[in-house]
Chain A
């Protein structure tokens, strides 16, 4: 038997599997972001090379709150779900009642496995009566496809083919208007509409992850750069800045929003049996609609609610002092360990030291007094251990009228 040349075989194999040469994928906006990148602070977002910060985390944050900020959300996982049964399908998969979501509207939702454990949270865009876009942190194609058994529905992964931008901040509406998106002023919070760009469509929704006035734009990836340029040209006068995740993370925490696999562990990622969470345990209980038709996890959730199976609770904390309590342990009466802080910052807007924490019930639920966090502040190679008083406070930590004001304010 004649064997092939092993060198040739090796080369052929390398050519067919060259993904390792680009361990991080470039977003369609990469040329623009690279051009603006000064600090070279990158991070990995779902396999994409994404900016953590481009020039100054602090100033990027203030661009969100006092100017306009452009954040590339292309790496966000996106599915197009369409067909006559799309509504029924999504109603079975997700917690909220999709029948109540009208075409041209967006809602924040989550979905669970059979055990009622949260697989992910995300936003559901109803583009038309039978066409949706589901955006999420993690990938779910096998789950969605298997959920589609018995439904007349088509599920298409469009993470790569659709480029997306978040335009956030008080001047975001002005930027869109100046860029010629006529009619954007009619969008109320959680509305979406199609606008024309380069002879094709761009979907603009009044949504975001900052608790501020803001929009999200979705466009075919081949139009990504021209869309960026269209915004950038008019944005200069409005103080438009490109920002990275670090700044966004501050803004979302002020808005009290949670991040999957940061503030809770998604069911498919959890290795340890006690790390999974039900919606009620991460503050998403409000989404559960027991009146709507059957949805994944319904029986398990109903059972847990009836039998005291909900062991955790996610709370907002206000902590004395000004040292961020990131990943600090939470105590009751300074002794009993009852949970952990998952995210914390000193909030420039709230002028408070804020945090999100996951606590073991009844702490944070019926017992909310006498809570403490133990912060380890590194001071010149020595930890300074700070025991700080914490109190449970409602989320969001800040509420900005401009987020929902109609018509959107022109700054």
Chain B
């Protein structure tokens, strides 16, 4: 029987970040990946012969600088090309498109002069406010039962930066914090396309419409991310998202971490209230001083730990985490580059968004409340092969899109619902890129149900649980496990189900590892 200092369950990017960080301290670390390859929902996969794409996460906009630096990811092959930064274009079926250039709209093309000025004002305000939350979204969440001196001073810094805003700005920050994004937009700007984009970005990946209370938080979350020192920037990594994970994996291997794939974990071994290892589905038993679970918190406790080892109140909270995803992922293999009306190469190399207005996004959201998909879905599209020709055969083109809203628990069921939803999506695409339908060689649509099954994410939610106010900070994933340590001694959480949440950031993994190191686990 082999024994490790730490085993990490789940070889997604957070699991690998945690493993690498622990490995760098000299700990003997083993990563257990259930699937044939690492990367979780952030990998580059072939979805039809000759066409590869980033599976779920297809853009990088929040990989944390501390993760890049501490794991020396650039040395391990990370290439995040930030010149030029990927623009975002809001498509319009009838009128002209609108393009945000630079890091989240440093410049605005296709808008009136007054609108450009209004946007510039709103943009800097949003970044100022997201900046207040930024440290909170990087560190371990505040510990209500007693904070260390370092934690208290970090919190105090947030207070100080809040004070630095000045009285009026501070008041506005607090006023806006839990507002819905639609109301905020109405206060500042007029362009429907711009409002539609911001409404879309604020609600992307959550079960919220732009007029749902607190929807602005989603936008702050996005803007708290940065790439290459530029807040709000987004890039498509060379080689797809899988290449980012590969760099982290190399860093882990460099740090002496052993990685095994095709080894699903059946359960975590608990002895006297302490996690002491894991049993694989094969029956093999692996012992470790510390067990890190970088998979869904729900699966971790309800399946791997089992409810017998934890208290009812905690089980109740874990069982009540809202994990049902509302976003689908579309992959198209096209025989040629699609022609989006009014767009040229620079725009096609960027992110294309179909969200023509706040109302459109809100109407797309409405049916999902009642278990139906959006008949006119909203989506963000990238054409990865234009940026990285290795992803598609010569002359052909790949398309990757995140599409909303697609409720996990579709009333009619996804067996019959999926072809209908695909049809609705393609109709939307056809309206903006006439002729695209005829160029499709292969289409792959991943509903939340598919994402759940393929990537072992309950509910198919890429955040491993809704990222809303009640499931953030010290309530993420639930009270009692918010600081990466859990009621089970020796067991730590490290997935996006933990604070701060999802997106390819590496922060949950990094924070979990740091917590383990601080507690000498």
**Could you list which residues of chain A lie within 8 angstroms of chain B, going by C-beta atoms?**
88, 92-93, 113-115, 143, 146-147, 149-151, 293-294, 296-299
The answer to whether A149 and B319 have CB atoms under 8 Å apart is yes
The answer to whether A299 and B311 have CB atoms under 8 Å apart is yes
**Nearest B residue to A302 by beta-carbon distance?**
B273
A297's partner among B307, B309, B311 (CB-CB below 8 A) is B311
CB distance from B305 to the nearest CB of A (A): 10
Q: Which residues of B contact A147 (CB under 8 A)?
A: 312, 315
Q: Which residues of A contact B310 (CB under 8 A)?
A: 294
Once the chains are docked, how many angstroms separate the CA of A115 from the CA of B307? 16
**Nearest B residue to A113 by beta-carbon distance?**
B313
A146's partner among B306, B315, B480 (CB-CB below 8 A) is B315
CB distance from B85 to the nearest CB of A (A): 47
Once the chains are docked, how many angstroms separate the CA of A149 from the CA of B307? 7
A-B contact count (CB 8 A): 49
**Nearest A residue to B272 by beta-carbon distance?**
A294
> Among residues 170 to 215 in chain B, which have CB atoms less than 8 Å away from a CB atom of chain A?
none
The winner among B270, B310, B480 for most chain A CB atoms within 10 A is B310
Once the chains are docked, how many angstroms separate the CA of A151 from the CA of B309? 12
Once the chains are docked, how many angstroms separate the CA of A147 from the CA of B313? 8
B contacts with A, residue count (CB < 8 A): 17
The answer to whether B306 and A150 have CB atoms under 8 Å apart is yes
The answer to whether B314 and A114 have CB atoms under 8 Å apart is yes
Question: Chain A binding site: helix, strand, loop or mixed by DSSP?
Answer: loop
Q: Which residues of B contact A299 (CB under 8 A)?
A: 273, 311, 487
A-B contact sample (12 more), CB < 8 A, given A113-B313, A296-B311: A92-B312, A114-B313, A114-B480, A143-B312, A149-B302, A149-B315, A149-B316, A150-B307, A294-B308, A294-B309, A294-B310, A298-B273
> Among residues 50 to 77 in chain B, which have CB atoms less than 8 Å away from a CB atom of chain A?
none
Once the chains are docked, how many angstroms separate the CA of A408 from the CA of B480? 51
**Could you list which residues of chain B lie within 8 angstroms of chain A, going by C-beta atoms?**
270, 273, 302, 306-316, 319, 480, 487
Q: Which residues of B contact A296 (CB under 8 A)?
A: 311-313
Once the chains are docked, how many angstroms separate the CA of A149 from the CA of B315? 8
The answer to whether B319 and A92 have CB atoms under 8 Å apart is no
Once the chains are docked, how many angstroms separate the CA of A151 from the CA of B314? 16
The winner among B270, B302, B313 for most chain A CB atoms within 10 A is B313
CB distance from A114 to the nearest CB of B (A): 4
Once the chains are docked, how many angstroms separate the CA of A192 from the CA of B446? 58
**Nearest A residue to B313 by beta-carbon distance?**
A114
CB distance from A53 to the nearest CB of B (A): 39
**Nearest B residue to A119 by beta-carbon distance?**
B312
**Nearest B residue to A297 by beta-carbon distance?**
B311
Question: Chain B binding site: helix, strand, loop or mixed by DSSP?
Answer: helix
**Nearest B residue to A144 by beta-carbon distance?**
B312
The answer to whether B307 and A151 have CB atoms under 8 Å apart is yes
Once the chains are docked, how many angstroms separate the CA of A129 from the CA of B252? 51
13 A-B contacts (beta carbon < 8 Å): A113-B313, A114-B311, A114-B313, A114-B480, A147-B312, A147-B315, A149-B316, A150-B302, A150-B306, A151-B307, A294-B273, A297-B311, A299-B273
Q: Which residues of A contact B311 (CB under 8 A)?
A: 113-114, 296-299
Once the chains are docked, how many angstroms separate the CA of A88 from the CA of B311? 14
Once the chains are docked, how many angstroms separate the CA of A93 from the CA of B311? 8
B315's partner among A150, A293, A297, A298 (CB-CB below 8 A) is A150
The answer to whether A146 and B312 have CB atoms under 8 Å apart is yes
**Nearest A residue to B318 by beta-carbon distance?**
A149
The answer to whether B308 and A293 have CB atoms under 8 Å apart is yes
Once the chains are docked, how many angstroms separate the CA of A97 from the CA of B128? 58
Q: Which residues of B contact A146 (CB under 8 A)?
A: 312, 315-316, 319
CB distance from A333 to the nearest CB of B (A): 36
Asked, given contacts A150-B302, A299-B273, A299-B487, whether A88 binds B312 with beta carbons under 8 Å apart, the answer is no
B308's partner among A114, A150, A297 (CB-CB below 8 A) is A150
CB distance from A403 to the nearest CB of B (A): 35
Q: Which residues of B contact A92 (CB under 8 A)?
A: 307-308, 312
Q: Which residues of A contact B316 (CB under 8 A)?
A: 146, 149
The answer to whether B307 and A113 have CB atoms under 8 Å apart is no
Once the chains are docked, how many angstroms separate the CA of A113 from the CA of B480? 14
The answer to whether A113 and B312 have CB atoms under 8 Å apart is yes
Q: Which residues of A contact B302 (CB under 8 A)?
A: 149-150
Once the chains are docked, how many angstroms separate the CA of A57 from the CA of B398? 88
Q: Which residues of A contact B270 (CB under 8 A)?
A: 294
CB distance from A291 to the nearest CB of B (A): 10
**Nearest A residue to B480 by beta-carbon distance?**
A114
The winner among B302, B316, B319, B480 for most chain A CB atoms within 10 A is B316
The answer to whether A88 and B308 have CB atoms under 8 Å apart is yes
Once the chains are docked, how many angstroms separate the CA of A298 from the CA of B274? 13
Once the chains are docked, how many angstroms separate the CA of A151 from the CA of B308? 8
Q: Which residues of B contact A150 (CB under 8 A)?
A: 302, 306-308, 315
Q: Which residues of B contact A151 (CB under 8 A)?
A: 307-308
Q: Which residues of A contact B312 (CB under 8 A)?
A: 92-93, 113-114, 143, 146-147, 296
CB distance from A181 to the nearest CB of B (A): 39
